[in-house]
Amino acid sequence: MGGPSLPEIPYQGAACMALGLDRDVTEGIYWLNMKDPAPYGAVVSHTNFIPVERYGERIVYLASYFQGTMDPALPGRMADDFCSRFGLPPDSVRWMRMAVEPFAGPIYSVGYRSHIPPYEERGLFLAGMFSPPNYPERSMEGSIVAGTDVAGRMEAVSHG
């Protein structure tokens, strides 16, 4: 009503499970993309990048994307598949936590470029995964570039 009219952009959600383990399950590899069907698309062995001594245990992230509402059974399926796939006995998993973000990234469809909102619309500044630097490749760097661009525009407006 009082704000700018922005195009509707469909989003995908992300579910990230973090696990504390007593062993390295990826044989020194930092990032694995899953080719086989699994309830997650990537296995990130954080402590194969940051020294395990910093944490005192192995930290692994499992990343899964979804559209709409996340299946409530997903956390259990992710944990069960991971332990089975990597031959982990239950006592080797010290803890696990799930974080869910329903609007993790825009879904690119035909004509998406025409739906990218401008950085500024009637005094409202926007930057994020939906911004021009993130098309056609979404990345954290693209979001930082968008945020820096918007901060510069806001600074120019406040000093102009």
User: Contact at 8 Å (CB) between 17 and 96?
Assistant: yes
Q: What is the pTM of this model?
A: 0.77
Euclidean distance between CA atoms 72 and 91, whole angstroms: 24
Q: How confident is the chain (160 residues) per 10-residue block, as mean pLDDT?
A: 72 95 95 93 95 94 93 95 93 95 89 88 87 88 94 87
Domain that residue 125 falls in: 114-159
Q: Is residue 4 part of a domain?
A: no
For residues 45 and 71, state if they share a domain: yes
Euclidean distance between CA atoms 15 and 17, whole angstroms: 7
Burial class (CB in 10 A: 0-12, 13-18, 19+), 77: middle
pLDDT of amino acid 138: 83
What's the total number of domains in the chain? 2
Euclidean distance between CA atoms 112 and 13, whole angstroms: 18
